[in-house]
Amino acid sequence: MNTLNSRLPMKSNTPVLGLTRRSFMRRSALASAAVAGAWPFAFAPRLRAQAARPGYPLRLPPELSGDTLTVAPANLAIWPGYSTAVQAINGSVPGPTIRVRRGTEFAARVVNQLAEPLVLHWHGLLAPERMDGHPRDAVAAGQSYQVRFPVNQRAATCWYHAHTDQLTAEQAYRGVAGLFVIEDPNEAALGLPSGDHDLPLVLTDKRSNAQRQLTYAPTMMDVMTGYLGDIVLVNGTPEAWLSVDQGLYRFRLLNGSNARIFKVGFADGHPFHLIATDGGLLPAPVQVTRAMLAPGQRLEILVDFSSYAVGGSVLLQSLSFPASGMGGMGGPQQGTEMDLLRFYVDRAASGAATPPTTLVPFTPYDRARAQRTRVFTLAMSGMVHTINGQLFNLQRVDFAVPFGDLELWEYRNTGTEPHPMHLHAAHCQVVERSGQAQLPPEDAGWKDTVLVEAGETVRVLVRFDAHPGVFVHHCHNLEHEDSGMMQNFEVLPPPPLAIQQTPGRVKISWPDSTQGFQLEATPSLGADAAWQPVTAIPVSAGGRWKVTLTNVAGHHFYRLMKPAF
Ligand code: C2O
Ligand code: CU
Ligand code: CU
């Protein structure tokens, strides 16, 4: 695997942090005195207008306008009357929601106005290698960089967040994260709630002090358990409430916490429908009364408020659950009950309100066709967590995956802490969870983050067929990630096109369609090229042809021009 190492060129402007894993922990303890800018108290007027109810009306993250994401220190009135130092994106925490329609391109300029390196990762999106936000691609303080890639994957609620080497946890905690929604106009036909009945709920737990500062000073113990907070902000709102009608709502939940696992449910046991997990809509809604949501994961739910009288209210909570491991000795605990959001049912329903019976078809991978099994042993070593006995090394590629092969990845958690394992560059399917005859509904559909509880073995099927290159997979407990619970792997380039030329005939062979490839051709060589799927080159058409092979995600790996076919 020696040759792979050379595939990790450092950008010339890449700051080499010069921090050891151990200095991350020391550094973190100093960091709470962090930032102080001079930003306006953006939220204060809206909050005052609604002061009659305890707590604060749920904020909605702004939508991204323009194509610049500026990450900078800011002071926000998260609590009215207080100025809380954060690291904001375009002045907002969470950052602005990015919406991209499937089949279009996403382009943005990322401007780093922090006093430290930064790179953003597009979590859940299949971005090419150098666009994905690998920690090696961080830019120094004051620098900026351009992101551009086509988005051609299932509609889903994704997100974006800091992914800076050894600074991911603190930057994400201080606010460098936002939603990234992939939209698909075909979804409109499903009749799901839309407009003001389709709302994001970004859940993050924080620790705050008497001055309403978000403290971040992880001890060795915090690094081992992950940094747990004692309050929850929903879309950056403390003690949040939302006025609803008696209708049906779609909520897009993201667990943007560093380490907190939520067990989402209503205080009165009110049922709701799970309609989507990380990678988009499920084949059909599943009725549940609670759902586990680990850091990095998304869930979309439908909630029907018609059984509540106008004037009633109901509380969405994180219900208590028995937590494995230390769970934060002496500080906030994993698994404790926490209030998320209170709904006040204020009006009669404004729209029709029955959940659809079917959503989006899902084709399970065939486990029998897995070409190999890879075992990832998650273990504790001293005060940190390792994957297969090792800590992350930015320069080392730990394994290589052939492009397009179906693989069975087995996560064995031999430690005492839960690990939400996240992979870049593909979505996976959970096939087995040790000790459970049936998978819980949260495991359904396309996943990019899979919770592996202490003592559990979880098996997933995965196929990397979007982009070749070096990517990471890691624990999404961000203190675990920053302290080294991460690996580099390389998706090898797909096999090349075979071209055979005989008099009067050119034969092109390509990897078969079961690997996600399709041959397309166009008679036009201009930018207006109309690509058509073909099974053979239409030689009789004559002229100049441009041929490209694309995979399911619409990314081009092969491009060749042959004059006069
Ligand atoms: Cu959401 Cu590699 O992370
Ligand atoms: Cu990711
Ligand atoms: Cu972990």
Contact 404, 440 (CB under 8 A): no
The finding on whether 296 has its CB within 6 A of some atom of ligand 1 is yes
Within a domain: 361 = no
Is residue 298 lining ligand 1, measured as CB closer than 6 Å? no
DSSP-derived pairing of the beta strands 177-183 and 156-162: antiparallel
Looking at ligand 1, which atom is closest to the CA of residue 161? Answer: 1
Residue 408 lies in a domain: yes
Instruction: Check if the beta carbon of residue 128 is closer than 8 Å to that of residue 469.
Output: yes
Q: Tell me, yes or no, whether 166 lies in a domain.
A: no
Per-residue pLDDT tens digits of the chain, which is 565 residues long:
333 333 333 333 333 333 344 444 434 333 333 322 223 334 433 444 444 899 999 999 999 999 999 999 999 999 999 999 999 999 999 999 999 999 899 999 999 999 999 999 999 999 999 999 999 999 999 999 999 999 989 999 999 999 999 999 999 999 999 999 999 999 989 999 999 999 999 999 999 999 999 999 999 999 999 999 999 999 999 999 999 999 999 999 999 999 999 999 999 999 999 999 999 999 999 999 999 999 999 999 999 999 999 999 999 999 999 987 665 567 899 999 999 999 999 999 976 678 999 999 999 999 999 999 999 999 999 889 999 999 999 999 999 999 888 999 999 999 999 999 999 999 999 999 998 999 999 999 999 999 999 999 999 999 998 899 999 999 999 999 999 999 999 999 876 666 665 555 555 665 554 445 556 666 555 555 566 666 555 444 445 555 665 554 444 444 443 333 3
* 378 and 423 both lie in a single domain: yes
Domain boundary among 444, 475, 491: 491
List strand residue ranges (DSSP E) for 388-447, in order.
399-401, 406-413, 419-423, 428-433
Q: Tell me whether residue 389 is in a domain.
A: yes
Q: How far is the CA of 122 from the centre of ligand 2 (A)?
A: 6
- Pair (386, 443) in one structural domain: yes
Ligand 2 centre to CA of 127 (Å) is 10
Q: Is the preceding omega at residue 94 within 30 degrees of 0, hence cis? A: yes
User: What distance in angstroms lies between residue 50's CA and the mean position of ligand 3's atoms?
Assistant: 40
- Binding site membership of 422 for ligand 1 (Cβ less than 6 Å): yes
Does the pTM of the predicted model rise above 0.75? yes
Residue type, 556: H
Atom of ligand 1 nearest to the CA of 123: 1
- Domain assignment present for residue 189? The answer is no
DSSP state of 194: -
Residue 278 lies in a domain: no
CATH number at residue 461: 2.60.40.420
d(CA 522, CA 531): 5
Is 164 part of any domain?
A: no
H-assigned helices in 497-558: none
Distance separating alpha carbons of residues 68 and 58, to the nearest angstrom: 25
Q: Let me know whether 399 and 482 are in one domain.
A: yes
Taking the centre of ligand 2 as the mean of its atom positions, its distance from the CA of residue 436, in whole angstroms, is: 27
Same domain, 382 and 460: yes
Assess whether 477 and 503 both reside in one domain. no
Q: Does 448 reside within a domain?
A: yes
Residues 446, 475 within the same domain:
yes
Specify whether 371 is located in the same domain as 463.
yes
* Cβ neighbour number for residue 310 with a 10 Å cutoff: 12
Whether the Cβ atoms of residue 362 and residue 427 lie closer than 8 Å to each other: no
Ligand 2 centroid to residue 404 C-alpha, Å: 19
Closest C-alpha residue for ligand 1 atom 1: 123
What ligand 1 atom has the least distance to the C-alpha of 474?
Answer: 2
Whether 371 and 432 map to the same domain: the answer is: yes
- What's the domain count of the chain? 2
Q: How far is the CA of 448 from the centre of ligand 2 (A)?
A: 7
| 481 CA closest ligand 1 atom index | 2
474 lines ligand 1 (CB under 6 A): yes
Per the structure, the complete domain to which residue 400 belongs is given by 367-491
Place of tokens 């994260």: 177
What is the position in ligand 1's atom list of the atom closest to the CA of 424? Answer: 2
